Amino acid sequence: MAKVAVIIDNMFEDVEYNDPAEAFQREGHDLIHVGLKAGKEVTGKKKATKVRIDESVREVSPDQYDALLIPGGYSPDKLRADEDAVAFTRKFLASGKPIFSICHGPQLLISADRIKGRRLTGWKSIVQDIKNAGALYEDKQVIVDGNMISSRQPSDIPAFIKAALDCLD
């Protein structure tokens, strides 16, 4: 089964973490929470979900994982301000391993500066950011572009999970 890194910080969108995480675990995949400080507890936007960071982004490599999940909310914006989080994401993009991003998740991909010419989707407020990064924005539930799977919003989660699980099989 796959070892999935979840890059996450405070104010993540609870449902965009919870639903994929539960689906991945139900299928036998392992989740490792990667963030700015190992041992820190981060909280979702709705304050209902608490996640303990397993590994510091400064001390890990994409080589340790089979896939990367980037939940939306404000978490990607917080992470994109950290050079180590951006470097980790950039290396993950270069690895060719699966990357799953939803809603505001593409903000971290944009900052990694490796999405020019790629197809993806995201939350409506970052459409212009996606285009400015040189990516091809598509307004669809789920976009699969090689190793990169993206969705727009919470209502897309079922299609997002299906595409991600198909990629992990």
Which residues are identified as catalytic?
103
* Joined tokens for residue 57: 């982004």
What's the full length of the chain, in residues?
169
Q: How many C-beta atoms surround the C-beta of residue 32 within 10 A?
A: 15
Half-sphere CA count of 11, side-chain side, radius 13 A: 9
Pairing mode, if any, of strands 99-102 and 55-56? unpaired
Q: What is the DSSP letter of 167?
A: H
